[in-house]
Structure 1
Amino acid sequence: MSTDTAIRGQRVSPVFLGITAVMAVTGWAVWTDFASSPGVAVFLFVTTAWIVSLCLHEYAHARTALHSGDITIGAKGYLTLNPLAYTHALLSIVLPVLFVIMGGIGLPGGAVFIERGRIQGRWKHSLISAAGPLTNVLFAAVCTAPFWLGVTDGVPAAFLFALAFLAMLQVTAALLNFLPVPGLDGYGVIEPWLSYRIRRQVEPLAPFGLLLVFAVLWIPGVNVVFWDVIDTFMRGLGIEDQLSDCGYWLYRFWSEDSDVCLTLP
């Protein structure tokens, strides 16, 4: 690979820069209450910030793989942060955004093709899988910083609600991704340490792992436990349930209840 090709393969994509610019502008609109309807601004801000986090999630996988031995990563465009470069844009971008819009849950992304045969060492394989959800953890920490640092005074309520909801998406994405289920990053972390026989038996389940997780989440008892765990993590980050709930309802600006939190005393 030539030097010019390598540089182009790591140059930040204009698509990603454009999405980041929309995130910045809409975040400013939420902060300043510039938009006539704060819900629309919150929707655009959270959606674009969520896409940015998905891009960073995939970038973390790719960058870690590159430094672990897969030198083909750059040529595939994974280091450009371009969401259109992923092998399964539907799984990595479209479905996660739809799940946020429909149900307020952070669907795990994950669709960079890594040539595992080029990578030596079980720890490297585990780290590559863990890098993505760890990015969601870091993103959640950044979103919740004003809360656990106690610097929310003077911050507009709508902006706090948006940050709380965005943080919740990151927490759900990290938790779901770390589940040791075939097809998710959590399984990728432990897979190198499993026997060849177990890996061969589990391999056919990988395409259906995510569907299985969401099917299980439809079970009322499991769903309650799942959200209790999420609420526990959120409270640990300094965010009470009402804040993220208000962010969710404000995000759904088309709902009749979208502005109810802004009228609270």
Structure 2
Amino acid sequence: MQELTTVQLLIVLAPPLLLAITLHEVAHGWAALRCGDTTAKAQGRLSLNPLRHIDPIGTVLIPALLAVFGGFIFGWAKPVPVNYHRLHQPKRDMALVALAGPSANLLMALGWGLLMVVGYHLQAGLPWLGEPLLLMGGYGININIMLGVLNLVPIPPLDGSRVLAGVLPDRFGLAMARIEPYGLIILVLLLGAGLFNVLMPIVNSIRHLILTLFSSFF
């Protein structure tokens, strides 16, 4: 398989990245709706249209630069609005809403695994279609696992902090609320310090498990 040009790489990366971020946010909104909060639905954020969720810098510029210059793929979308006080059981439901995003990424990783199988079987007869699908499936698995695992880190505004706030005493949630204005800065500093090196064994284990599930189809 020949090395991809920059344009080809971006074309192969764009669908899994946009779907990973879009469906992650839709999952938050859907879970909030199920728990009683209609805010995301009222603002049109349950849409599968990526344009409703795209952050020009976090969804487009940063991932594109990382893809071109190498390294991990990192990005974010506009957060789905959730009204804490409209939830049936606010503390518990906020944890469920937060957990919905990474759960959606895990399901998408499985879906991209299926696409890899399709691409693998098409590449012999239709290489112009099979090879891109095979690559796209692989990137889809990696992106979704990394996004899901990263979001479970307990640093606000990541989902992990809200999951823990839902199961730990209230003082933990208050502490997370005080840290949240500085959360993105803390996250960037931790990423620069090698946070992904800590997370990669988890990412690799989940990827290995998914590939093992589909290994009999290759």
Using structure 2 for the length normalisation, give the TM-score.
0.76
Higher gyration radius (CA)? 1
Q: 1:208 and 2:175 equivalent?
A: no
Q: 1:93 aligns with which of 51, 59, 62?
A: 59
Q: Which residue of 2 aligns with 1:114?
A: 82
Residue identity matched to 2:63: V
Residue identity matched to 1:213: L
2:108–2:144: 8 Å Cα contact kept in structure 1? yes
Deviations 1:19-54 (CA, angstroms, capped at 9, x unpaired): xxxxxxxxxxxxxx9xxx776344213213311221
Taking the aligned partners of 1:165 and 1:46, their CA distance within structure 2 comes to 7
Deviations 1:82-126 (CA, angstroms, capped at 9, x unpaired): 44444x835763466346535332435461111110112233221
2:26–2:46: 8 Å Cα contact kept in structure 1? yes
Q: 1:199 and 2:167 equivalent?
A: no
Residue identity matched to 1:47: A
| Total equivalences in the alignment | 201
Q: 2:32 aligns with which of 45, 61, 65?
A: 65
Coordinate RMSD, CA, aligned = 3.0
Q: 1:52 aligns with which of 8, 13, 19?
A: 19
Residues 177 and 195 of structure 1: CA distance in aligned 2, closer, same or farther (over 3 Å): same
Deviations 1:130-189 (CA, angstroms, capped at 9, x unpaired): 111111111111111366x79834433443223212211111000000112221111111
Deviation of residue 57 (structure 1)?
1.1
Corresponding residue SS for 1:114: coil
Q: 2:207 aligns with which of 234, 247, 255?
A: 234
Q: 1:187 aligns with which of 148, 155, 161?
A: 161
Corresponding residue SS for 2:39: coil
Corresponding residue SS for 1:73: helix
Q: Which moved more, 1:52-61 or 1:195-204?
A: 195-204
Q: Which moved more, 1:183-192 or 1:195-204?
A: 195-204
Unaligned runs of 5+ in 1: 1-32, 240-265
Taking the aligned partners of 2:118 and 2:60, their CA distance within structure 1 comes to 35
Taking the aligned partners of 1:80 and 1:135, their CA distance within structure 2 comes to 15
1:136–1:170: 8 Å Cα contact kept in structure 2? yes
Corresponding residue SS for 1:80: coil
Unaligned runs of 5+ in 2: 124-129, 213-218
